[in-house]
Structure 1
Amino acid sequence: MTEELSYTTEEIAKLLKISKLTVYDLIKKGDLLAYRVGRQMRIDASDLERYKRQAKGATPQSVSPASGPKEASSAPRPLVITGQDVSLDMLAKHIERQNKAVRPLRSHAGSLDSLIAMYQGQADIVSTHLLDGDTGEYNVPYIRKLLAGFSYVVVNLVSRSAGLYVQRGNPKGISAWTDLQREDVRMVNREKGAGARILLDEQLRLHGIASSSVQGYDDEKSNHLSVAGQVVSGAADTGVGIEKAAALVGAEFIPLIRERYDLVMLKTPDNLDWLGTVMSVLKSELLHQELASIQGYDLSLTGTILYET
């Protein structure tokens, strides 16, 4: 029966031919009713049909007294947190524990796509690690351009090493960005919009290396683990990423730069009730203890406001 069916946010995105962030935005606005099963959000088929009828301008069918209407207003406010790092899962857990009025939802979007989603009103807490090669500064130059006219705060979550994954023993002797143009070196890349992809592109530009001269530049993977895994399997000689992923899959790691992994949050009246919660969590000893257990994290700036409008 239709009422017994339910869909994940990914399935809804495919059915409606929209992005997953747009699905979260519909949930956040109360246009699409959802409920949580563990860490996963699900939408009943009947609620999907109700949304489609409303979108077409039709009057939704009445709900029987036995089942009763579903009240979106009484549910916790969805809080969309973008990014792929495990530190965000830890952050989401602590936010939910401290503030029952919000329900953190995770979206695994890249840094640049996350900022665009925030501009479009589809994300609440954006994580970003975008290097501006001209200034050597992380994140703020991009945020100022993309969120011009917005009121926001930039807070550090962690700092970490970024560099190149290589196979055990580093058989190709890879040690620098310039090695990527060698004919005997093949890399695997990240997708457009990812912080690691922008780091690579900025380094190629600064070193005067054309992307067309880099073997494997167009071979894209959607996360750090996939890139490191390709290197370990021998499908590629190197790839750009972070130290933690190398440790998880057994790749060697060549650190080349220290990057800031920051959070961006808009300062709007609707956000004031949870902004204080996030800042409190970021300063909490319990979160710091959990983050300290992850290899490669530097917590010296965690919770520090780096830029504010």
Structure 2
Amino acid sequence: MSEMSYTVEEIARLLRISKVTVYDLIKKGDLVSYRVGKQMRVDAADLDAYKKREKGLSPNLQEEFTDRPADRSPSYRAVAAANGMRTIVITGQDISIDILARHIEKNVTGMRPLRAYVGSLDSLISLYRGECDVVSTHLLDGETGEYNLPYIRRIFIGSSYLVVNLLSRPCGFLVAKGNPLDLHGWKDLKRPGLRLVNREKGVGARVLLDAQLSLHGIRSERLIGYDQEESNPIGVAAKVASGEADIGIGHEKTAAMMDNVDFVKLIEERVDLVMLKKPHNREWIQALLQILNSEAFLNELRVIPGTDTSQTGKVMLET
């Protein structure tokens, strides 16, 4: 029997669905999974079983088609269910979300967090669809200059929700060490020959860049590398560090991780958490608010370069 297993990203590619949808399948128990460190994995046999069920085969015939041994280790979700636990899916790509997940797992009885590394806009849409439970977002609205709330109000019309601040942090240019091209403002993106490395659509850095291009009358097609996308901030910094790009949009903490990258602050970015208010989640929302305001959690955030926790735990909007 093959011992092959897949990551969430690989499952998403194989099934041609989003990573959040994969996490939702795991959350519902439709896709058997287990955890290796911080990563969720799905065995090939369990993926085959899921596909056969979706094609209409009886679940009772699973053993016949998957060659599943009786002594297989129980899945992460199965263990949680057996112990009377429920899981919540938390989205976001920042290390602060990993810290939050650890505190939830440690301090909230009967609760296990699952992490989905999804961008801000896709996270909000997934929350609207009921595919996740807590989302982090840092989206600048170009028309109002306000973070997050304009997007949230437009997406969750008629819904009952809670928006709580996670942190604030500086955002700006990632440039080569010493800033040899002397890049200090958004208008510098008009310079001919400047090579950009971009993020994928829907993430906060991409939304910020597009808003600033619009405000400064800069056409994206005139930017070299605008279509060159990286799926994470480290990828952007690595392109700048290697000299493959002159500039990227990112955060101070990312620059601090690279020897050959400097940071130019342009804006203070606000990261908020969004949760839908429903009868079944009121208890864990209150526990989450307690964690956000605890000194243990705040102390861990404060060691991240550039992180401002002055509003962490503050309710920004409640409906």
The letter for the 1-side match of 2:57 is A
C-alpha separation between the residues in 2 aligned to 1:256 and 1:19?
A: 32
- Counterpart position of 1:230: 239
User: Retained in 1: the 8 A contact 2:139–2:204?
Assistant: yes
- Counterpart position of 1:18: 17
Deviation per CA, 1:98-149, whole angstroms, max 9, x where unpaired? 1242221111111111111111211211111100122111000001111222
- Counterpart position of 2:32: 33
- Counterpart position of 1:259: 269
The letter for the 1-side match of 2:199 is R
| TM-score with structure 1 setting the length | 0.92
User: Retained in 2: the 8 A contact 1:172–1:185?
Assistant: no
- Counterpart position of 1:168: 177
C-alpha separation between the residues in 1 aligned to 2:163 and 2:280?
A: 18
User: Retained in 1: the 8 A contact 2:141–2:211?
Assistant: yes
User: Retained in 1: the 8 A contact 2:34–2:42?
Assistant: yes
Q: Does 1:202 align with 2:193?
A: no
- Counterpart position of 1:276: 286
Q: What are the residue-to-residue correspondences of 1:1-309 with 2, within 5 Å?
A: 1=1, 4-61=3-60, 72=78, 73-74=81-82, 76-250=85-259, 251-309=261-319
Deviation per CA, 1:222-272, whole angstroms, max 9, x where unpaired? 121111221121111111111110111131111010010111111112322
Q: Give the direction of change, closer, same or farther, for the CA distance of 1:208–1:7 in structure 2 (3 Å limit).
A: closer
- The Cα of 1:209 is off from its aligned counterpart by 1.4
Deviation per CA, 1:7-33, whole angstroms, max 9, x where unpaired? 332333233332221111111112222
- The Cα of 1:35 is off from its aligned counterpart by 2.4
The letter for the 1-side match of 2:30 is D
C-alpha separation between the residues in 2 aligned to 1:65 and 1:210?
A: 58
Q: Give the direction of change, closer, same or farther, for the CA distance of 1:49–1:218 in structure 2 (3 Å limit).
A: closer
Q: What secondary structure does 1:90 align onto?
A: helix
Deviation per CA, 1:156-203, whole angstroms, max 9, x where unpaired? 111000111111121111111000010142211111111001101111
C-alpha separation between the residues in 1 aligned to 2:228 and 2:39?
A: 30
Segments of 5+ residues of structure 1 without an aligned counterpart are: none
Q: What secondary structure does 2:282 align onto?
A: helix
C-alpha separation between the residues in 2 aligned to 1:248 and 1:19?
A: 29
User: Retained in 2: the 8 A contact 1:27–1:78?
Assistant: no
Give the stretch that moved more between structures: 230-239 or 212-221.
212-221
Q: What secondary structure does 2:60 align onto?
A: coil
- The Cα of 1:208 is off from its aligned counterpart by 1.4
The letter for the 2-side match of 1:120 is R
Give the stretch that moved more between structures: 273-282 or 151-160.
273-282
Give the stretch that moved more between structures: 254-263 or 215-224.
215-224
Q: What secondary structure does 1:295 align onto?
A: coil
Deviation per CA, 1:267-305, whole angstroms, max 9, x where unpaired? 112322321221111011001111111110000000000
User: Retained in 2: the 8 A contact 1:162–1:255?
Assistant: yes
Q: Give the direction of change, closer, same or farther, for the CA distance of 1:220–1:153 in structure 2 (3 Å limit).
A: same
Calculate percent identity across the aligned residue pairs.
Answer: 56
What is the number of residues matched between the two proteins?
Answer: 308
User: Retained in 1: the 8 A contact 2:19–2:118?
Assistant: no
User: Retained in 1: the 8 A contact 2:205–2:249?
Assistant: yes
Deviation per CA, 1:72-92, whole angstroms, max 9, x where unpaired? 443532221111111011000
Q: Give the direction of change, closer, same or farther, for the CA distance of 1:31–1:169 in structure 2 (3 Å limit).
A: same
C-alpha separation between the residues in 1 aligned to 2:17 and 2:69?
A: 33
The letter for the 2-side match of 1:48 is L
C-alpha separation between the residues in 2 aligned to 1:260 and 1:200?
A: 15
Q: Give the direction of change, closer, same or farther, for the CA distance of 1:297–1:15 in structure 2 (3 Å limit).
A: same
The letter for the 2-side match of 1:55 is E
The letter for the 1-side match of 2:131 is Q
C-alpha root-mean-square deviation of aligned residues, in Å?
2.2
Q: What secondary structure does 2:127 align onto?
A: helix
Segments of 5+ residues of structure 2 without an aligned counterpart are: none
The letter for the 1-side match of 2:273 is L
